[in-house]
């Protein structure tokens, strides 16, 4: 029997993240007494689920359970990771994070969508930009108006 160290590493990661979420939830202040769900309720559930999943994964790994490789029609398992594509996707994401406060979500979201589509092989840049703009502006209004979560408007503050 071979020991799958990556499964143990993933289990340890899940337990560590779950533990941190539980710790962070314990530092939250209580809401109003008349609220049936306190602010720490959801993080406690998420943290506990992560810890339980990590423990269950470690137990399954110790019992010899290993996942089977996916055999999709369009997946060539003999090929390695395309590091250029992964690097470009990471670059697009980092640019989004770096620019979101200055340009705002509506613009950086469109750039993110267009950039990811281009990195993954799309050659219809104008259509990608139009779709990305519609999605980012729509999601900005959804979060800001419907959910009440302020997302940075950036240079479009006052326009949106």
pLDDT tens figures, 26-38: 988 877 667 767 7
CA 134 to each of CA 21, 86, 138, 140, 159: distance values in angstroms, whole numbers, following the listed order: 34, 25, 6, 10, 15
- Do 14 and 59 have their domain in common? yes
| 91 located within any domain | no
CB atoms within 10 A of CB 106: 24
Q: Are 71 and 77 in contact (CB under 8 A)?
A: yes
| 74 located within any domain | no
Q: How many domains does the chain have?
A: 2
Residue-range definition of the domain harbouring residue 49: 5-63
Which residues of the chain are under the pLDDT cut of 50? Answer: none
Q: Are 106 and 157 in contact (CB under 8 A)?
A: no
CB atoms within 10 A of CB 62: 12
- Do 100 and 148 have their domain in common? yes
| 85 located within any domain | no
**pTM exceeding the 0.85 threshold for the entire prediction:** no
| 42 located within any domain | yes
């Amino acid at each position: 029997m071979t020991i799958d160290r990556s499964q143990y590493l993933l289990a340890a990661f899940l337990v560590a993240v779950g533990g941190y979420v539980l710790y962070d939830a314990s530092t939250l202040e209580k809401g109003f007494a008349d609220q049936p769900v306190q602010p720490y309720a959801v993080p406690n559930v998420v943290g506990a689920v992560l810890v339980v999943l990590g423990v269950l994964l470690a137990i399954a790994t110790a019992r010899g359970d290993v996942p089977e490789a996916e055999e999709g029609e369009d997946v060539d398992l003999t090929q390695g990771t395309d590091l250029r594509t992964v690097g470009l996707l990471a670059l697009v994401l980092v640019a989004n994070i770096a620019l979101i406060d200055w340009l705002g979500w509506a613009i950086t979201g469109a750039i993110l969508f267009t950039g990811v589509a281009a990195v993954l092989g799309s050659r219809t840049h104008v259509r990608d930009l139009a779709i990305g703009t519609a999605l980012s502006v729509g999601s900005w209004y959804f979060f800001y108006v419907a959910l009440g979560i302020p997302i940075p408007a950036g240079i479009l503050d006052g326009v949106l």
